[in-house]
Structure formats: C-alpha cells, structure tokens
Structure 1
Amino acid sequence: MQKYISLFFLGLICLTACESKEVPRDVIPEQQMISLLTDLHLTDGALYVVPQMPDSLYKYGRAKYDAVFKKHHTTDAEFKKSFKYYSTHPDQVQDMYVKIDAIIKAKIDSTNKASRTPLKPVQ
C-alpha cells in the first residue's frame, strides 16, 4: 500500500513540475504584449503631464487607451485576460519589462538627441 501511495505522490510531483511553457491561444503573444505595454505606459506618461480637470482623465484618457488597443488589434478584455496570465509568470513579466524599459529609454535618448541637434539654416 505504501508503494502505491509513494507512486501516486511521485506522479503528482512530476505532473506539477512539468509546467507547459506554451502560451494559451487566447493570450496575447509576448512580443505583441511588450509592444502593447510600451504604448500603454507611454500613454500613461502623456496623460500624467496634462493638467487634470474633473472627469478629463476619463473623458480624454479613455479615448487614448482605446486608440492603443485599436492600434494593436486587441480589446481591453483581451488585454486584462493576457495580463492576468502573464502576472502568474513573474520571471517572464520581469524579462518583458526589461525589454520595455530598453525600448522606452531608446525613445527618450533619440528624443533628447534630436532636441540637442542644432537646426541648419535654410539657404
């Protein structure tokens, strides 16, 4: 009897240890999620610097977020479901945010470089 109990728990351990790395079909793929999260964070930043009046964030912000979702051919519900999936995989999310951070830093650097470059006079 003890042998069967040991085999049962050994099998249970093997099944739980063999977690699939494959993303479910209804979850946004990682590269697309990185691009979507980057755009969402840039939208957050853009809305943060705009003076806020009552209901202005909801009135104007919602349209900006909807435009981001439309650009990425997804919906708010699909994003929430995908974000919930990725939040159960913290190592993967951390890797994604390293890439997002690099993308945003590159955009900041290119903006700073462009603003420092003197304009040539037109002749």
Structure 2
Amino acid sequence: MAFCKFVQTYKMQRLLLIILTSIFLITSCRKSTPEGILPEQTMVELMSEVHLVDGYLSTLSIDSSRKIINSLYGHIFDKYQLDSAGFQKNVDYYLGNPTLSKKLYGTINQSMTQRDAEFRRADSTIQAIRNDSIQRIQYYTKLASEQRSLILEAKLDTVPLSFDKYHREFIARVGINVRADNGRTNNSKPNAKNVQSGSVSATPIRNPSAGPDKKKEPAEHAAEATTDN
C-alpha cells in the first residue's frame, strides 16, 4: 500500500512539474507589446496615409510643402491620437523586428495598390463623362453657328417669284406631267396606252391674273360663219 501511494504521488509531481515548465516556457517566449504601440492593422492604415502625404508633398515645391507639412501630419496624428514621439516609437517597434516589418509593408503595398486601382477607375469614369460633355458642347455650338449662318447669311434669290414660276415648281414637286405648247395646254383626250403607263396629261390651273376670258369680237364671228358656209 505504501508503494502504491508513492507511485501516485510521484506521478502527480511529474505532471505538476510538466505543467509549470510549459507555462514558464510559453510566458518567456512570448514578448509583451509595449504600451502605446498600435495594433498591426491600425499601423497599416497609419503608414498608408503617411505615404500618401509624402507622395503629395513630393509634387510640390519646397516652400509650398513647408507651409502645409505640419497641418497634414498633424491631422494624421490627431486621427490616431499620437504625437511625433508616439509615432516614432511605433515606427521603431515595427521596423525593429524584420519579420514584423516585412509583413507590415507587404500589407501596406497591397493597400496602396488597391487604392491606386480605385483611383484610376474613378478617374477614367470622370474623364469619359468630361469627354462626352465636351463633344456635346462642340456639337451644339456647331449647330447654333450653322443656324445663325442660315438666318443672317442667307443669299437672296435674284429671280422674282411669279405665279407661273410658282405653278411650275408646285407641279414639279407634286409629280404631275403637264404638256404645254406656247402657254396653252394640250387638251387631247388620253389614250389607253397613256392611261396604262401613267403618263396622263393634266390641265394646268388657269392664271387668275389673266382675268376672265374675253368674248370674241363680232368680226371674228363673221369670219367663222363665212368659213362654215
């Protein structure tokens, strides 16, 4: 019985020793994050905005960049509740670990690439809308210029418009075939061939300006009577 108790006590001691050793190893291998260090995802967002500001400042002159650099970085620090010392502390912490810094900047690179693609997509849409607007403006400007030239630069017709001229133009537009001989219409009856072919002579409208037909003179009546006899 004493031996059994000894074995049980020994097993318990070994198990307890293993558990304590494991806890000690885990605790010693794990580095605690210092106070004031931002999480990894927050640091990615912070450094992405910092790189955007750096890129914008590089496009300006030295005098112009000096005027706005403090306000731009101050806005970023206020957003993440940091000051210049806190920002430098975070940079030193992440860049001090090569594995962590490589992972951090890999994520930053992906974020910047995604932002650049979104910017290009939005810029192409804006450019397409702008080009369409310019084409519309050019089209309506040209149309207005043509209308203005038709109204203000219209050439006057040197040929006076008479009734006969208007009548001929009207008949030509309508498509009626009129045969005239010295101003008089041929009143012969259409034959069957002309009716079938569609070339039927039409009697033109009498010119109202000519006035009513004049009655024949008595001498003309006498000449006709003599001829009949």
TM-score, normalised to structure 2's length?
0.42
Query: Is 1:25 paired with 2:35?
Result: yes
1:49 corresponds to:
59
Cα distance in 2 between the residues matched to 1:41 and 1:107: 12
Work out which of the residue numbers 114, 118, 121 in structure 2 matches 1:106: 114
2:103 corresponds to:
95
Cα distance in 1 between the residues matched to 2:70 and 2:91: 18
Task: List aligned pairs for 1:51-90, cutoff 5 A.
Answer: 51-53=61-63, 56-90=64-98
Once the two structures are TM-superposed, the CA of residue 89 in structure 1 deviates from its matched residue by 0.6
Number of equivalences: 105
TM-score, normalised to structure 1's length?
0.74
Cα distance in 2 between the residues matched to 1:88 and 1:51: 33
1:119 corresponds to:
129
After superposition, what is the alpha-carbon deviation per residue over 1:59-108, rounded to whole angstroms, capped at 9, x for unaligned? 31111111111112211111111111112211111111111111111111
After superposition, what is the alpha-carbon deviation per residue over 1:5-52, rounded to whole angstroms, capped at 9, x for unaligned? xxxxxxxxxx8xx54244222212211111111110000001111122
Judge conservation of contact 1:28–1:78 (CA < 8 Å) in 2: no
Work out which of the residue numbers 34, 47, 50 in structure 1 matches 2:44: 34
Q: CA RMSD in A?
A: 2.2
TM-aligned CA distance change 1:81 to 1:112, over 3 Å: same
In structure 2, stretches of 5+ residues that fail to align are 1-24, 134-229
Q: Secondary structure at the match of 1:67?
A: helix
- Amino acid in the other structure paired with 2:96: T
Give the % identical residues.
27
Cα distance in 1 between the residues matched to 2:69 and 2:29: 39
Structure whose CA Rg is larger:
2
Q: Could you list the structure 1 runs, at least 4 aligned residues long, displaced by more than 6 angstroms after superposition.
A: none
Q: Which has the higher contact order (CA 8 A, sep 6+)?
A: 1
